[in-house]
Copies of this chain bind each other. A is one copy, B any other.
Amino acid sequence: MSTLAQGKADLERASTAQKVADMLRERVLDGELEPGLRLSEEAIGGALGVSRNTLREAFRLLSRDRILVHEHSRGVFVRRPTGDDVRDLYAARRVIECGALRLWNGVTEAQREAVRAPVRRAVARAEKGDLSKTGSANIQFHRGIVGLAGSTRLSDESDRLFAELMLAFRVAQEVEAFHQTYLPWNRKIVELLGDGAVDQAVLQLHEYFDAAEQDLVGRLS
């Protein structure tokens, strides 16, 4: 059974455009390709060994993911979120995550664990003085919250929102330190959830968004 599933994964090979898009997304999100950078078709295509046409298909995919911005006759650029973008992003996250968190009492134990575990791990690392990966830990926490809704579409869209915010962090030159501040906040939310105080947790989450938005917008403008 597991071998069948594995074989299926092998069979479902992706197109070149898809693979190129995935790899470019990685390069953008890990900071190798900075926000605002123009991606020349010739340069990228030459480096990756793919034709311009295929590369343009990949660009179309990534522009729909809001990772890249397509400017007609000027080229594609790594997105460079503005203060307005950040406000828009947090407005969306507020609705999605606060709405999802309210479902806490109606979801499976596995879903709840996906919210708790990232915070527990982050706390453990912080106590050891390990301050790496605080960013991805924070995102995993919020990804877990969205997962409470049980909708792949909602989770996928949230991933796009997270990706865009990571670009904003980079513009603000605060990739890791930013999240660090908010670990106690996440901890408090999990605590409240454990006490069954869902409404309190939602309120706390709401305040977290307000604070984070203000912080990030401030650094951007």
A95 touches B149 (CB 8 A): yes
A153–B60 touching, CB < 8 Å: no
Find out whether the CB atom of B92 lies under 8 angstroms from the CB atom of A153: yes
How many angstroms from the CA of A53 to the CA of B98 in the assembled complex? 43
Would A95 and B103 be within 8 Å (CB), given that A14-B72, A17-B60 are in contact? yes
* Tier of interface size on chain A: 20 to 34
A94 to B99, CA, bound (A): 8
Most buried by B among A89, A98, A152, A157: A157
Does A57 lie at the interface of the complex (its beta carbon under 8 Å from any beta carbon of B)?
yes
Q: Residue on B with the closest CB to A89?
A: B153
Q: Known contacts being A15-B72, A60-B17, is A96 close to B94, with CB within 8 Å?
A: no
Determine the chain B residues whose CB is within 8 A of the CB of A88 once the complex forms: 150-153
A65 to B63, CA, bound (A): 11
Partner of A96, one of B61, B99, B103: B99
A91 to B89, CA, bound (A): 20
Q: Would you call A195 an interface residue if the criterion is a C-beta within 8 Å of the partner chain's C-beta atoms?
A: no
When each residue 163-181 of chain A gets 1 if its CB lies under 8 Å from chain B and 0 otherwise, what string results? 0000000000000000000
A66 and B89 CA atoms in complex are apart in Å by 21
Asked if A161 lies at the interface with its beta carbon under 8 angstroms from chain B, I say: yes
With a 10 A CB-CB cut-off, give which of A70, A92, A150 has the most chain B CB atoms: A92
**Residues of B close to A92: CB separation below 8 A:** 149, 151, 153-154, 157
Report the 9 A-B pairs with minimum CB-CB distance, sorted nearest first: A99-B99, A64-B64, A91-B151, A95-B99, A92-B154, A92-B151, A60-B60, A95-B149, A53-B53
Interface residues of A (CB under 8 A from B): 12-15, 17, 53, 56-57, 60-61, 64-66, 70, 72, 88-89, 91-92, 94-96, 98-100, 103, 149-154, 157, 161
**Beyond A15-B72, A56-B57, A64-B65: 12 further Cβ-contacts under 8 Å?**
A12-B72, A15-B70, A53-B53, A53-B56, A57-B60, A60-B61, A88-B152, A89-B151, A92-B157, A94-B99, A95-B154, A99-B99
